[in-house]
Structure 1
């Protein structure tokens, strides 16, 4: 435990700018509003319009709505179809906010980092509208505003592309070496690696941890509590 705390301390202490992924490290956005169900709704919506052939069998069975959206964008980049599908996903995310589960220790961690003078940003593939609505329900808006960088209709710029991280770094005037990202997916890690930003993996279960480790993530925590303790000098 002491070694783990020391490793965390070495990773966290130099960070003056902290970039959070949203769905995972801050909350489970689809805790009461299944992402798999939303992906299925997207597929049915396409099928109702005679567009079943746009997706492969594997893509139609994909439980990730972002994956479905990306697949359509690869075939019709920048089209009205993609714009409509993206807006439908945004509305689903906005509805999901009311049943989202806060990640344990996320709120006090965010408020502690903010109180210590660190600059915080959100870099996510979710809609910035959903992020803004969620932060408002938790009293966390002041900790991040205006630095919320989420999905746009340029879907090729979603993570693992580092676009949203670079936007955050540029807006905050941050050197990548002074920044840390907290994310729960290999795409977060890849984006951070390309942007030159340190990375802390958050894995709420063993499956998430295996995926992060397989991607090469060195530092992974199963809870944000040890991160909070290091910040507060309790570990």
Structure 2
């Protein structure tokens, strides 16, 4: 970028956009890692990914991981990749349980997303029902909401199952949450931060609110098809829209 280059920030939702988006909402499906917290803030995901690679290699099956997956250092991408190539294997079951333990280790060091806790409490107090719909372990999600004293706000927690093909972008967790809440999809909203969240919300026919804490996140959601009118850089914008 030269000194004369103008950096154009991608468009995001206005206050009016957000008011229109949340006005009919009676049910909110929250992704965990991103909108609610940085789960691996104190136990970095690249470190976890390295441990997963080591576990695979010690099992004598290094070919289970592609070079791209190794370079991405994304534990979920690694699991889903192995699942595509070797579904229902005993090693895959062991790796999923290993990742669950890592997520539980990460919970005490997780960093709450700015404004998430007060927004959750305020929205819940207004009578809106919540569920967690996450690709992380339900055990880790339950442990996190308990540490933040938010358990009363989240009676429903839908996490990763052993059927890894049902992870988002598959809408399984969202559809399951809608079912247990007896929710009409037209009155539901998913809060997520990734293209996979957006794809799952579309497949479940629910509204989507994209939390994009930085410019690359905004760009990624826009490339996935999310409209600017449903993307925020800060949850304070949602708080302001809710309280106005």
TM-score by length of 1: 0.96
Residue 232 of structure 1 pairs with residue 239 of structure 2: no
Q: Secondary structure at the match of 1:61?
A: helix
Alpha-carbon distance in structure 2 between the residues aligned to 1:135 and 1:15: 22
| Residue 232 (structure 2) aligns with | 221
| Unaligned residue ranges in structure 1 (runs of 5+) | none
Paired with 2:61 and 2:199, the residues of 1 have a C-alpha distance of 32
Other-structure match for 2:136: 126
How far has the Cα of 1:62 moved from its partner? 2.2
List, as ranges, runs of 4+ consecutive aligned residues in structure 1 with deviation greater than 3 Å: none
Distance in 2, Cα, partners of 1:51 & 1:79:
12
Question: 2: CA distance between counterparts of 1:17 and 1:48?
Answer: 44
Distance in 2 (CA, whole Å) between partners of 1:59 and 1:99 is: 25
What's the CA shift string for 1:49-108, capped at 9, x where partnerless?
211111221122222100111111122212211110000000000000011000011001
Structure 2 match to 1:84: 94
1:204 corresponding residue in structure 2: 213
Q: 209-218 or 156-165, which moves further after superposition?
A: 209-218
> Which whole-Å deviations, capped at 9, do the CAs of 1:185-214 have from their partners, x for residues lacking one?
000000000100000100111111110111
User: Out of 57, 60, 66, which is 1:47 matched to?
Assistant: 57
* C-alpha RMSD of the superposition: 1.2
Instruction: Report the CA distance between 1:228 and its aligned residue.
Output: 0.7
Q: State the secondary structure of the residue aligned to 1:125.
A: coil
Query: Which residue matches 1:108?
Result: 118
Q: TM-score, normalised by structure 2?
A: 0.92
Give SS of 2:73's match: coil
Distance 1:138 1:169 in 2: 24
Equivalence for 2:43: 33
Using the TM superposition, give the Cα deviation of residue 168 of structure 1 relative to its aligned residue in structure 2, in angstroms: 0.4
1:1-32 CA distances to partner (integer Å, 9 max, x unpaired)? xx811110000011010111000000000111
Mark the runs of 5 or more structure 2 residues left unpaired by the alignment: 1-12
Tell me the secondary structure at the aligned position of residue 14 of structure 2: helix
